[in-house]
């Protein structure tokens, strides 16, 4: 950022990320470095940054704008003094999840896992846990795409061991 150039405009270094479907995203360096997976490309090899395109094989371009938006906002929240009011962070997080289907949420969790960013992964898994915690077993199987490998008898027996845990569920 501290360019010796006499130009008055501040030059922020950009890094090009390539999503799974080949689409390119130009991202400011500090934002890109929020992703440990991207950071690890450059550690000890800062020169590599110049023209390198970082392939993100497990991240669909559909989710890149939202994910980058999360990094930008949350790093701004962290830097701000005094820290932003809790309601402001909450409002951003709620808006982030709004209109996201279960499937989209799962895809973003996989992306955050691949990008190795704790903050985003923690936030998304907490959101997923909140979505499923009061749901039925069938809902959870569909949510994670899991096949039931119990026989009906086995399932009934395991269920009977903790029958109380099936009370008071939300509708699917």
Partner 1 sequence: MEVANSSIPVDVLYHNFLRLPAKSLLRFRCVSKFWCNVIDHDLTFANKHVSTRVATASDEPQTFPISLPEITPTAWHSFACDGNLIKRSEYPNYIDQGYVVCQVGYGLLCFRHKYGGGDTLLCNPLRKKF
Residue 158 binds partner 1 (CB under 8 A): yes
User: Tokens 């096949």 identify what position?
Assistant: 147
Q: Which stretch binds partner 1 (CB under 8 A): 3-11, 79-87, 89-97, 141-149?
A: 141-149
Q: Whose CA is closest to 122, among 105, 109, 140?
A: 109
Identify the H or E element spanning 86: helix 86-97
Classify residue 15 as exposed, middle or buried by CB count within 10 Å of its CB (0-12, 13-18, 19+). buried
Only one of the segments 30-38, 65-73, 78-86, 124-132 lies at the binding site for partner 1 (rule: CB under 8 A); that segment is 124-132
- Check binding of 141 to partner 1 (CB under 8 A): yes
Q: HSE on the CB side for 19, CA within 13 Å?
A: 17
Stretch that binds partner 1, among 41-49, 72-80, 91-99, 103-111 (CB under 8 A): 103-111
* Structure tokens, 75: 């790093």
Which residues make up the interface to partner 1 (CB under 8 A)?
A: 106, 109-110, 113, 121-122, 125-126, 128-129, 132-134, 136-137, 140-141, 144-150, 155, 158-159, 161-162, 164-168
């Amino acid at each position: 950022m501290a360019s010796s150039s006499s130009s008055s405009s501040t030059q922020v270094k950009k890094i090009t990320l390539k999503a799974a479907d080949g689409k390119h995203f130009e991202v400011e360096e500090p934002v890109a470095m929020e992703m440990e997976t991207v950071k690890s490309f450059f550690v000890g090899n800062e020169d590599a940054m110049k023209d390198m395109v970082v392939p993100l094989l497990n991240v669909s371009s559909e989710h890149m704008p939202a994910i980058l938006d999360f990094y930008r906002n949350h790093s701004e929240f962290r830097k701000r003094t005094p820290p932003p009011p809790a309601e402001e962070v909450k409002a951003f997080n709620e808006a982030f999840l709004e209109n996201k289907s279960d499937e989209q949420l799962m895809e973003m969790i996989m992306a955050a896992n691949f990008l190795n960013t704790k903050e985003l992964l923690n936030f998304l898994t907490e959101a997923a846990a909140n979505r499923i915690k009061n749901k039925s077993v069938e809902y959870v199987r569909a949510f994670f795409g899991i096949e039931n490998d119990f026989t009906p008898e086995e399932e009934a027996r395991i269920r009977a061991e903790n029958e109380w845990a099936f009370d008071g569920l939300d509708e699917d």
